[in-house]
Amino acid sequence: MEANIIDFLARYAHFLAGITWIGLLYYFNFIQGEYFKVAEGSSKVDAFTQLVPRALWWFRWGAMFTFLSGAVMLGIRGSGASMDIAVGAVLGTLMFLNVWLIIWPNQKIVIASNEQVKNGGEALPEAAGAAPKAALASRTNTLFSVPMLLFMASSTHFLSHGPVAGSTGLIVSLVIIGLLEVNGIMGKQGPMTSVKGVIMHGFILAAVLWGVLEFL
């Protein structure tokens, strides 16, 4: 009974933190990023010093508590996890790591650069390289979010793809995800540059991973 209560509370926290995290991820990619493409320089500086730091605080801690609550649930459910949960958890973990190891460190540089500009100084030279790194990781997280949410939902509300042990489909899925993560660290946005492109390819990735688990 005690384990069930902890599992329920972790699941509830997972929902609350996940909504906060993914909601802000979509805000950054679908709204704020598009605004910055057309905004004037002074407006960008003001946003990066007043708005972005606040949004990033909720964003990164939403990611943290989503990850921690998910880890608690996995710990309780143990080896009974399905392939759906395994793929969803891997995607979610990579997204969490991207937030804390790529997006946030590089956004701190961009924010510091804009603060210097606002105070009459010069932009930090390293900001020119930091912004694309953060943007690529953020686009990768948006790409991953579509199949991640699909598999998290399917594990509970649809027919699961069975246990993890001995699954060729799971191995192939992890290779695909790994290659996309490598691109998210050192590659290019490519078709993910546009909002339409990243959404469309998110659904394509979800369909590919689903097919791999279903037929391999």
Any idea where the domains of the chain sit in the sequence? 2-215
176-197 tens-digit pLDDT: 999 999 999 999 999 999 999 9
Which helix (H) or strand (E) segment holds residue 160: the answer is none
Contact criterion met (CB below 8 Å) for 95 and 73: no
Long-range contacts of 148-153 (CB under 8 A, 24+ apart): 148/88, 148/91, 148/92, 148/95, 149/22, 149/88, 150/88, 150/206, 150/210, 151/84, 151/85, 151/87, 151/88, 151/91, 151/209, 152/84, 152/85, 152/88, 152/92
pLDDT given at position 160? 60
pLDDT given at position 132? 97
pLDDT given at position 154? 84
Phi, psi for residue 122 in degrees, rounded to 5: -95, 150
Q: Is 16 left (phi over 0), alpha (psi -120 to 50) or beta?
A: alpha
Distance of CA 76 to the CA centre of its chain: 24
Contact criterion met (CB below 8 Å) for 83 and 161: yes
pLDDT given at position 153? 87
Phi, psi for residue 167 in degrees, rounded to 5: -100, 115
Q: What is the mean pLDDT of each run of 10 residues along the chain (216 residues)?
A: 86 97 98 95 94 98 98 82 88 98 98 95 95 98 97 75 71 96 97 97 97 89
103-115 tens-digit pLDDT: 999 999 999 999 9
pTM of the model: 0.93
pLDDT given at position 161? 61
Contact criterion met (CB below 8 Å) for 209 and 83: no
pLDDT given at position 166? 59
